[in-house]
Structure 1
Amino acid sequence: MKVDTHVKACVERLLLRGGLFSGFSPHPETLLMRPVSAGASFPVPPEEDALRYSPTWESDDEYTDFAYSDLYMNGHFTDYNNGVLRSETNNEHEEMPAMVCDIETGKIIEDPENDQDGTLNPGTPKGEYTVSEYNEVLVNLMNQLFHDILTDDNRKILYYKLPENKHYKAYIEQVKNLRAVKVSEAPPQERLAFFMNVFNMLSVHTTQINGAPRNIWERRKLMNCSYYQIENHKYAPHSILNGILRSNRKGLAALWKPFGKKDQRLPLILPHCEPLIHFALNTGTRSTPPIRAYTCKSVYDELRDNACKALKSNHFLRFDTKNRVIYLGKVFKWYEIDFGRSTEMVLEYLLDLMSRTNSKKKRMLEDWLCDGNVEVDYMTHDWMFNGQMSEIELK
């Protein structure tokens, strides 16, 4: 089979940027000729590899400089079932059109995602909103909805109640108005509260539609291919997390920052990464922190309060008194840079965070750090789904 030079160059760049993984040849001709049937299996990384269930990935294919930096970990969920290879999109570094090529034939085909809006909030908004105005409406809806669907200390979501819930129906109507929210005019504190609420509700919305993610590909699809349009741009959960809330920092194992230099969402990122978000965002797993709504006016106090509640859970902080080991949640390893770049700084951050409390964990952490000779280890993240899709829960 003759391989188009343009396609070959595309594959070579993807291979060089993302690296290879077991089962693929380094030669583009071989890669393109390799048949991929529907349902084909691909190698899975080790259980402890953060890439396996990474909650953050490269940013939107429509906006980022380099959309898919790794053929295996950053491919579309549907691409491998359909046997296609997707290139990076147009960017400031290379003049190369966005395209999709068939892995088996090497033929360039149209990107099926470019001919539809693809957002979860289609429709015409009613009026215009400031971020403060919209967030006030959103918080009211979220509080009423969460009262009906959250259980287990606000960590478990009863998804089966959503279709008939009047507050959820009102939310689905209200979310259309995100298109008319003047987010570009909002100060950082308001953007922080607003985008955390949007992130948590977007994860609920897309899970209710598509069901619980059953594997890495579906988890990746949820994070990358579920969009709300806010003002003039699309936002997926990963672009909210890594782009806006983490102040445009690389996601786990990502090679590039989420927003490129010409990305029009870049001015909306927070001035600095706010580590408290890791105690606030729904991860869709049993290791998630308590879920709640955040107001623009009191967001920092609410975040600290929720963080202290999260630290009471053994998913975030646990002590082995017999062996003098402090066990931290994996989030502190994955996002160590957000908390201070070293394990010691993470512990100091947690101690400062709990300074307003008189909890047993706070006193123990303080005593152990003063005494020294403490070992730190990381707990296994509980990736089990934190929701219930049916009224009759399967064991």
Structure 2
Amino acid sequence: MKVTIVVKDRLYKMRRVTNCFLGSEAVDFLSEDQYLEREEAVEFGQKLANELFFRHVLDENLFEDGDHLYRFLDHDPIVSSQCHNIPSGIIELKPKPIDEIASRLRVLSYAIFEAYASKDGRHVDYKSINGSEEFERYLRIVQELQRVKVKDMPREEKLAFFINLYNMMAIHAILAWGHPGGPLERRKLFGDFNYVVGGCTYSLSSIQNGILRGNQRPPYNLLKPFGVKDKRSQVALPYPEPLVHFAVVSGARSGPALRCYSPGNIDKELMDAARDFLRAGGLIVDLNGKVAYASKILKWFSVDFGKTELEVLKHASNYLEPTESEVLLEMIADGELKVIYQPYDWRLNC
């Protein structure tokens, strides 16, 4: 089909669209190639579109006969230039179920963390991961995500899958592009290193802020990751999951510990991650000075934890040691608390 149909740049609704083809031309080809009537060819084309081989350039319909423009998945300019799980193009075999791929990804991630991260998950041996047999297997697995169906995943499966994918994708990004040296490089790594998953492109930022935070604006940004018509908004969780901030690891020393998450136990594992992070210095309470020294994670993503700074601290107090939590709540009640946010160490967690 790709060889026969004319793919070229065209004008559509006063804009130039690259690498696309007409619906009518696809119907012509399918009618002749599959010996179908035009209506049958349209139905066949809709099945191909539903399997994410191609899509409407503006997502206006699934597939129709006529002058509508469509684009093969690997001809999408972002997919072809910025996605790092398509080294040999789009896999045309029928994708395996997402729960099966997610399970394999989880097992492999666990093996990588066991072999190449410290016991507490705070340090990662990136040099040894690069080129390892386990990482090569990971690169093959993520290719299978290109056309999977992720929209209808249950909450628990979606949480575990996207957290695990984020953490391995961050490792992949650091190995491919190097650890970012400053804010501009970090912005590029978080925003421009992409995978294609279920026919859509996902960056680290769009996974964290779009999927896991229920399509909330990233810190210091004016826009949400997904617009109203963006298909990825249908994949996003319905509301922010605040504890994911203690689970996603971007490679910074001040970030959480690296660990693997499972759908069957995801809520307990996230609470454990929050306890470990906050009790290990993410929130320090100084009774004598009436000061709480908090990780900037609680500042950057405060809207996920509460409407005010004090609500955020009350939320975080649930994961401190009971005695320390009690002290913090008493200081909040007395109105004597001062909050100081700790410097964030962006150096690589190696």
Paired amino acid for 1:362? S
1:319 matched to which residue of 2? 285
The structure-2 alpha-carbon separation of the partners of 1:163 and 1:262, relative to structure 1 and needing over 3 Å to count, comes to same
d(CA) in 2 for partners of 1:180, 1:286 = 34
2:239 matched to which residue of 1? 272
Secondary structure in 2 matching 1:319: strand
Would you say 1:165 and 2:137 are equivalent positions? no
1:121 matched to which residue of 2? 85
Q: Would you say the 8 A contact 1:131–1:190 is kept in 2?
A: no
Deviation at 1:310, TM superposition (A): 0.6
Paired amino acid for 2:80? Q
TM-score, normalised by the number of residues in structure 1: 0.65
Deviation at 1:91, TM superposition (A): 11
Q: Which of 267, 291, 295 pairs up with 1:329?
A: 295
1:28 matched to which residue of 2? none
Q: Aligned runs of 1:236-275 on 2, under 5 Å?
A: 236-275=203-242
Larger helix fraction of residues? 2
Would you say 1:182 and 2:149 are equivalent positions? yes
Instruction: Tell me the percent identity.
Output: 32
Deviation at 1:201, TM superposition (A): 0.9
The structure-2 alpha-carbon separation of the partners of 1:152 and 1:349, relative to structure 1 and needing over 3 Å to count, comes to same
Deviation at 1:148, TM superposition (A): 1.4
Secondary structure in 1 matching 2:284: strand
Deviation at 1:165, TM superposition (A): 2.1
1:348 matched to which residue of 2? 314
Secondary structure in 2 matching 1:348: helix
d(CA) in 1 for partners of 2:144, 2:196 = 9
The structure-2 alpha-carbon separation of the partners of 1:207 and 1:323, relative to structure 1 and needing over 3 Å to count, comes to same
The structure-2 alpha-carbon separation of the partners of 1:131 and 1:226, relative to structure 1 and needing over 3 Å to count, comes to same
The structure-2 alpha-carbon separation of the partners of 1:115 and 1:270, relative to structure 1 and needing over 3 Å to count, comes to closer
Paired amino acid for 1:191? K
d(CA) in 2 for partners of 1:378, 1:128 = 46
Secondary structure in 1 matching 2:244: helix
TM-score, normalised by the number of residues in structure 2: 0.73
Deviation at 1:361, TM superposition (A): 3.3
1:308 matched to which residue of 2? 275
d(CA) in 2 for partners of 1:167, 1:282 = 19
Paired amino acid for 1:338? D
Secondary structure in 2 matching 1:286: coil
1:136 matched to which residue of 2? 103
Secondary structure in 2 matching 1:185: coil
d(CA) in 2 for partners of 1:252, 1:369 = 25
Q: Deviations over 1:30-85 (max 9, x none)?
A: xxxxxxxxxxxxxxxxxxxxxxxxxxxxxxxxxxxxxxxxxxxxxxxxxxxxxxxx
Paired amino acid for 1:346? V
Would you say 1:377 and 2:344 are equivalent positions? no
Determine which structure has greater relative contact order: mean sequence separation of CA pairs < 8 Å that are 6+ residues apart, divided by chain length.
Answer: 1
The structure-2 alpha-carbon separation of the partners of 1:341 and 1:370, relative to structure 1 and needing over 3 Å to count, comes to closer
Q: Deviations over 1:193-239 (max 9, x none)?
A: 11111111111001111111112222111111111110111101111
The structure-2 alpha-carbon separation of the partners of 1:333 and 1:91, relative to structure 1 and needing over 3 Å to count, comes to farther
User: Structure 2 stretches of 5 or more lacking a match?
Assistant: 1-57, 61-75
1:211 matched to which residue of 2? 178
Q: Which of 168, 172, 185 pairs up with 1:201?
A: 168
d(CA) in 2 for partners of 1:374, 1:250 = 28
Deviation at 1:125, TM superposition (A): 6.7
In our comparison, the structure showing a higher alpha carbon Rg is 2
2:112 matched to which residue of 1? 145
User: Structure 1 stretches of 5 or more lacking a match?
Assistant: 1-89, 93-111, 388-395
Deviation at 1:163, TM superposition (A): 2.5
1:10 matched to which residue of 2? none
Q: Across the two proteins, how many residue pairs are aligned to each other?
A: 276
Q: Would you say the 8 A contact 1:189–1:296 is kept in 2?
A: yes
The structure-2 alpha-carbon separation of the partners of 1:115 and 1:238, relative to structure 1 and needing over 3 Å to count, comes to closer
Q: Which of 324, 340, 344 pairs up with 1:361?
A: 324
The structure-2 alpha-carbon separation of the partners of 1:211 and 1:350, relative to structure 1 and needing over 3 Å to count, comes to same
Deviation at 1:304, TM superposition (A): 0.5
